[in-house]
């Protein structure tokens, strides 16, 4: 970012601050850029949004309020329009759409939204609102609800506990698989060791730029660098991804291969930018090189002795990207 006064590039500054939101105080990492000549600091719409998300995600976590992507997924799961969702739940006419656009629900509305993940609860609410719908609308929506299961593992409704330890990302197995496929498709001979680091940098850069991780994975600092928790199981979830033992010179390892192409429609433009950035930065690094780079990260230096989980606050201290 360039200074509006001098036109010179400004350095980002990350500092811990507190923000009072709806009566509660939350800590977050504030991003700004400092003009060395004038001493003035600047933010962008994007950095302000990341600050807001850091705070409101903690608020959602504290009070059990669904996250923005969950609210979208719930409606799409039942195949009901946003206006009809508002009508059935007794919200204002456009309220559900506002929630999908990022407005944070009240505690009562948030818990009501979470409750309709149980189809029988949603059906009961539909029946209570039957008089507000035409017979055709009621019949169509009720048919969409009947036979649904509460949690469809592998779908967009695969819920997990979200916190700063997983970057408040939703652990969606389909998105995780396609993140792996993205790197396998674009990088020659992706060893498991290298994939561990590619995932780490992707998730932490996404948190720094977008306020949320891409995969929802948690990471630990082990002797070989930051890795997804239970990383050895992560790569065995998917039949489409083959773990192939390989010997190069005197070194043995396991590379990940697949004939399947990544479905990039699952990712936002901002997430694709992050994946492309990581690929451009590290595609030509060997596994050994990338491990060495990751060993310079405060995320690893501060946590590796205890093999602790790595907080996503370390996203704002990344050195390798």
- Pick the closest to residue 142 from 118, 157, 156, 122 (CA basis): 122
Name 215's Cβ contacts closer than 8 Å, sequence gap at least 6. Answer: 169, 171, 172, 175, 176, 179, 199, 202, 203, 228
pLDDT at residue number 122: 95
According to the model, what pLDDT value does residue 155 have?
Answer: 45
Domain boundaries, the chain: 11-63, 68-145, 164-317
Q: What's the CATH number for 11-63? A: 3.10.20
Listed as own residue / partner, the contacts of 74-82 with beta carbons closer than 8 Å and 24 or more positions apart are 74/113, 74/116, 74/117, 74/157, 75/100, 76/156, 77/148, 77/152, 77/155, 77/156, 77/157, 78/122, 78/141, 78/144, 78/145, 78/148, 79/144, 80/141, 80/144
pLDDT lower than 50: segments of the chain: 151-159
Residue 249: predicted pLDDT: 72
User: Would you state the pLDDT for residue 109?
Assistant: 98
pTM of the predicted protein model: 0.91
pLDDT the model gives residue 150: 65
């Amino acid at each position: 970012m360039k200074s509006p006064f001098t036109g010179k590039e400004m350095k980002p500054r990350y500092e811990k601050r507190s923000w009072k939101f709806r009566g509660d105080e939350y800590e977050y990492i504030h991003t700004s850029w400092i003009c060395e000549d004038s001493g003035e600091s600047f933010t962008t719409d994007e950095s302000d949004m990341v600050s807001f998300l850091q705070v409101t995600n903690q608020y959602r976590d504290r009070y059990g309020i669904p996250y923005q992507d969950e609210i979208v997924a719930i409606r799409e799961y039942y195949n009901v329009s946003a206006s009809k969702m508002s009508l059935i739940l007794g919200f204002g006419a456009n309220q559900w759409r506002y929630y999908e656009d990022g407005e944070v629900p009240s505690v009562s509305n948030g818990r009501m939204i979470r409750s309709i993940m149980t189809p029988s609860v949603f059906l009961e609410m539909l029946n209570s609102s039957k008089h507000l719908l035409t017979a055709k609308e009621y019949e169509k929506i009720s048919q969409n609800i009947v036979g649904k299961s509460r949690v469809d593992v592998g779908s967009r409704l695969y819920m997990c506990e979200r916190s700063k330890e997983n970057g408040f990302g939703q652990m969606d197995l389909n998105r995780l698989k396609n993140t792996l496929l993205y790197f396998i498709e674009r990088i020659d001979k992706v060893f498991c060791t290298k994939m561990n680091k590619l995932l780490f940098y992707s998730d932490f850069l996404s948190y720094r730029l977008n306020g949320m991780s891409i995969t929802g994975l948690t990471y630990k600092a082990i002797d070989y660098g930051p890795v997804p928790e239970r990383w050895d199981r992560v790569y065995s979830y998917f039949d489409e991804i083959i773990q192939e033992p390989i010997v190069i010179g005197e070194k043995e390892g396991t590379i990940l291969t697949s004939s399947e192409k990544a479905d990039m429609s699952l990712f936002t433009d901002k997430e694709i930018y992050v994946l492309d950035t990581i690929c451009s930065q590290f595609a030509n690094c060997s596994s050994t090189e990338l491990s060495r780079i990751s060993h310079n990260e405060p995320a690893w230096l501060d946590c590796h002795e205890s093999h602790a989980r790595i907080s996503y606050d370390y996203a704002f201290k990344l050195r390798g990207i």
